[in-house]
Structure 1
Amino acid sequence: MSDPNCIFCKIAAKQIPSTIVHEDEHVVAFKDIAPQAPVHLIIIPREHFAGLNELTETNAVALSRVGLVAKSLAERFGLEKSGWRLVANCGSDAGQTVFHLHFHLLGGAPMGGRMV
């Protein structure tokens, strides 16, 4: 199910142009339009749900696919040896601005200090 007002649902449906680097039955990955690292990809489940707080047993398959796709993309973009980061923000206090569950795959340069 998708949300007709969601920008990420529109990207997945190819209603908004994007540089898609992977798509399958469960997930879509595309280049971030404002990259924060040399490699900055967004990985989303095709099914619309706002964030990790809406994860259930029935939609959890999307989360496992995200992990596998992230690993594959990290290899494809040459990040597997130097390292990469996979980040999901959940809620506005965490910095989430698009309320469709999504993960940022970041790499290609040192990420700097600790995250927390």
Structure 2
Amino acid sequence: MNEDTSSAESRCVFCAIAAGDVDASVVYEDETVVAFMDINPVTHGHLLVVPREHAVGFEDLDAATAVHVWSVGHEIARALRRSSIPCEGINMFVADGEAAFQTVFHFHLHVIPRSPGDGWTLNAVSHEREWSLLESDAEAIRDAMPAVR
């Protein structure tokens, strides 16, 4: 873990929501995750899927929990498309670390319904990268990966 788990949990609003100590508009819950409406949504219907066990980011999640978070996010995305909430598309978004815009340091998956003109934009500027540099990056990542199970 990135910090002392007990002290992180005592300060963590998502742990409090998962424990039922703080009110939230819960959409789904089971023994591993809780999914609830984002209190500061970027679009109508924006929600979060949060593991019950405190984990700051990807590095702190075990594989089974990570898979379950995404599986629940997938089911919620499907439900959004069938609901009365405007939804012509879906963004699934994770902010892992302060540099990636994470503001609550408990892992969470944003499930964001999208419609044309909904006001939320991504304004990233991309640049084509030279092939040799792409290969060098790929090698660095492969070297850091554990053997595939």
Give the TM-score taking structure 2 as reference length: 0.67
Bigger strand fraction: 1
Runs of 4+ in 1 over 4 A off after TM superposition: 111-116
CA distance in 2, matches of 1:46, 1:108: 27
Q: Secondary structure at the match of 2:14?
A: helix
CA distance in 1, matches of 2:88, 2:124: 18
Q: Are the equivalent residues in 2 in contact too, given 1:39–1:108 (CA < 8 A)? A: no
CA drift of 1:19 comes to 0.2
Give the TM-score taking structure 1 as reference length: 0.85
Segments of 5+ residues of structure 1 without an aligned counterpart are none
Overall identity of the aligned pairs, in %: 38
CA drift of 1:114 comes to 6.1
What is the aligned length?
113
Q: Secondary structure at the match of 1:77?
A: helix
Q: Are the equivalent residues in 2 in contact too, given 1:38–1:109 (CA < 8 A)? A: no
CA drift of 1:112 comes to 4.5
Is 1:71 the counterpart of 2:67 in the alignment? no
CA distance in 2, matches of 1:91, 1:4: 20
1:6-85, aligned counterparts within 5 Å? 6-55=12-61, 59-78=62-81, 82-85=88-91
CA RMSD, aligned part only?
A: 2.3
Say which one has the larger Rg: 2
Q: Secondary structure at the match of 2:72?
A: helix
CA distance in 1, matches of 2:113, 2:46: 7
Segments of 5+ residues of structure 2 without an aligned counterpart are 126-149
CA drift of 1:4 comes to 2.0
Is 1:88 the counterpart of 2:94 in the alignment? yes
For 1:28, give the aligned amino acid.
V
For 2:63, give the aligned amino acid.
A
